[in-house]
Amino acid sequence: MMFRLALRSLLAHPLRSAVLAGGFGLGVSVMATLLGVGEVILLQARAPALLGGGDVVVFGTTGRVGSARHVLASVLGTPPFAERVRAASPTTRAALYLVREGRTVPIRGRGGVPSLERAMGDPETSGIAAWTDAPADAAWAAPDPGDVLRAMDRFHPIPDVPGRESSWAEWLYFNGRAGDTRFYLTFLVGGRRPGGRRAAGVRLQLDRAGRPSSYGEARDVDEAEVLASAPDLTVGGSRVRLEGLRYRLTVDLPGGPDAAGRRRGRTGRVSGEIVVEASPGRSLPPLAIHGAGGWLSGYVVPVMAGTLAGWLVVDGERLPLDGGTAYHDHNWGFWEGVTWQWGQVHHRDLSVVYGRVRPPEDAADPERVPGFLAVLGPDGPLGYSADVAIEETGDPGADRPARILVRGRGPALDLTMELGVLGTVVTRMPEGAFGGGMDFHQLRVRYRVSGRAGGRELSFEAPGSAETFRGR
């Protein structure tokens, strides 16, 4: 029917139809030409030769590259890229304005490290001998892995959000396993106190062959000192010290309530020295989620898979930790009404971590906040996905999950993890804190992992950790 109408129109008005067809054809050709020219201009604008030389340009997905020193030191500076990358230079662009005699001239400026720019073959810097590295450029020209680790693990000033300020908290979390001993250790700095002080506390949860015990202490700390020196922290008789790539943890804590929160189950005392050794390239850089009303939640994993050494003394019993494995992450943000699901496992040369934060409803729709699943191999990331499903199932009448199923799908990742729960340490959270009165479960689990990541087939079982919240 449409073809018949078009044919009759062409036969009745041949000249008008010809002009109309030519106009449409010309318009389509002009649009195709403009799109082609625009794509070429965009490619040329990003060409390494125009940006200062080199062979490859790395851009952030939304603009600037976050954690650029981490990329230089822990990605490009470790195998397999370290043997292939001769030079890498950070570059930034900014709008500048030259003001003179009442006239303002906009200028597009580009900055970099002169020695690295020359190594990249940049023609602009190679001919100007006066352009030399400033002292601060050394942190970019030869980034020290320990300095990069310290920068990732720094503490953050409390944002000016009056409605949420009281729920701000930031903490260093460590867990480790050696033989049948597992520990969960947290150094937390919370809200403001009078006189420039901040509330702080240390908590150690210990699992000895299925026998849980808890220890803790609360003290105030100086806010300015925390922001200046963290992750080095001292809370009462316990402290964290970062020495290069080594975290040295000292604990001296009285016993707390038992796992059910009963004061009559109070345990004795624990002391000891724990050493967690990080490996360059085995970390996840900082990321932050922002919501309505200034809500914020941040997360970084400085030690995805580390080695463990040291000892703990519990009521006179010495527990050796040498030869164990360890993990360390760092969280910050506003936590009232927030819950999360999280877990991590490492097996031989692989490390896997998953998680999802559920913000309060006045900040974002909890069901629309994506999760994440990341797999690191011996030479860096193998795969990452934000398309993650986390399902918890429990036995009838049980107050904890018995099984957790995690699925992650992405261009370089297709992974399924079944977590069988072997034990749990439960903390009853008060109203107005994390979880809003729910029970916080730290789980000892057995992972069964199958799928692929980065072209590598994965199939293994290994012990690991997980966390979740459950209603009472």
Summarize pLDDT for 366-400 with one digit per residue, the tens.
888 888 898 888 777 788 888 899 998 876 556 77
Which of the residues in the chain have pLDDT under 70? 1-87, 126, 141, 257-267, 395-398, 430-437, 471-472
**E-assigned strand segments in 38-102:** 91-100
What is the rounded CA–CA span in Å between residue 331 and residue 95? Answer: 34
HEC letters along 183-241: EEEEEEEEEEECCCEEEEEEEEEEEECCEEEEEEEEEEEEHHHHHHHCCCEEECCEEEE
Distance CA 183, CA 205 (A): 6
Rounded CA-CA distance 32/43 in Å is: 17
- The rounded mean pLDDT for the chain is 81
Nearest CA to 182 out of 467, 469, 464, 468 is that of 464
Which pLDDT score, from 0 to 100, does residue 209 have?
77
Residue 223: Cβ within 10 Å count: 19
Tell me the CATH class for 145-335.
mainly beta
The answer for residues whose C-beta is within 8 angstroms of residue 163's C-beta and 6 or more apart is 293, 294
Q: What is the pLDDT of residue 422?
A: 86
Give domain limits for the chain: 68-143, 145-335, 337-472
